[in-house]
Amino acid sequence: MKYLICNLKANKTYEEILEYKNALENKKLEKINFILAPSSIYLSLFKPCSFPLCVQDISLNEKLNLTGDIRIEQLKSLNVNYAIIGHYERRKYYKETEYEILEKIKNTLENDINVIYCIGESFEEMNRRVEYQVLERQIARIFNKLSLEEMKHIIIAYEPTYLIGKDTTYDILKIRSMIIFIKKIIQDYYHINMPVVFGGSVNTDNIENLSKLKEIDGFIICSAILNPENIDKIIEKMTTP
């Protein structure tokens, strides 16, 4: 089954998230691997739910119990199964380096939480035609430091940064080419089949064509799933042959 990773980012007040939770409880999610990533302050509300929970980031200083941080042990007590790491917004606005991303990934995997590792090229890198080198570097600098067993617990989220939050027309063949490249790199160098999901302003209008690409193992979506009514439409288009 394909993945549908719902990244709510910093959206929704307490009253709004309660309404969202009630809407999810009435939905049939068994056709896909549904993963929800709400703001950390709301994770406990979804603990009784049957679908896996995901945290949107992991503390770099796991062992120091620093003010404002959340320990992985605390996340596990809330039934968190996944962590998004390396998201473009964290790289851009928090200046996260690949060293810091690697440390977060290692800490997460050592504590038996699966990783959703975000990679993607910028508009400038695409125009310079170095997008393949960029992706290969983002993969190698992390995976070269991990064991095969650790890599079995990673999902790649390919998100071209110039598509995040943008209303733009997709080049379907280009996306297919990039997904194939990512999978080939991982298979050739690390001898493992790893799920690769796609993100970047995926919505109810474009997901039908994107779902036709058999190379895509699912989607990571934000804006389009903030309205829970869209989730049914998205799942239908993801699962229709």
Give the count of beta carbons closer than 10 Å to the beta carbon of residue 119: 25
The pLDDT of residue 170 is 76
CA distance 45 to 42: 6
Q: Which CATH architecture has domain 3-239?
A: Alpha-Beta Barrel (3.20)
Overall average pLDDT of the 112-118 stretch:
98
Residue 62's pLDDT is what?
A: 80
> pLDDT tens, 12-45?
999 999 999 999 998 989 999 999 999 999 999 9
Residue 167 has pLDDT above 80, yes or no: no
The pLDDT of residue 64: 85
Burial (CB count <10 Å: 0-12, 13-18, 19+), residue 10: exposed
Does pLDDT of 168 surpass 70?
no
The whole-number average pLDDT for the span 56-70 is 90
In the predicted model, what is the mean pLDDT of the chain? Answer: 94
Q: How far apart are CA 71 and CA 20, in angstroms?
A: 26
- The pLDDT tens digits of the residues spanning 117-155 come to 999 999 899 889 999 999 999 999 999 999 999 999 999
- Give the pLDDT confidence of 173-198 residue by residue, as tens digits: 999 999 999 999 999 999 999 999 99
- pLDDT classification of 240: cutoffs 50, 70, 90: confident
Encoded tokens for 158: 């390919």
Confidence (pLDDT) at 237: 94
Residue 28: the pLDDT is 86
Least Cα distance to 145 among 180, 117, 120 occurs for 117
The pTM is what?
A: 0.96
Q: CA 94 to CA 118: how far, in whole Å?
A: 15
Identify the pLDDT of residue 164: 78
pLDDT score recorded for residue 26: 86
DSSP string across 71-140: -HHHHHTTTEEEEEES-HHHHHHS---HHHHHHHHHHHHHTT-EEEEEE---HHHHHTT-HHHHHHHHHH
Structure confidence at residue 71 (pLDDT): 93
Q: Which residues are catalytic?
A: 87, 159
Specify the range with the lowest mean pLDDT, choosing from 45-49, 83-87, 168-172, 228-232.
168-172
> Cβ distance 139 to 181 under 8 Å?
no
**Tokens 């064991």 label which residue?**
147
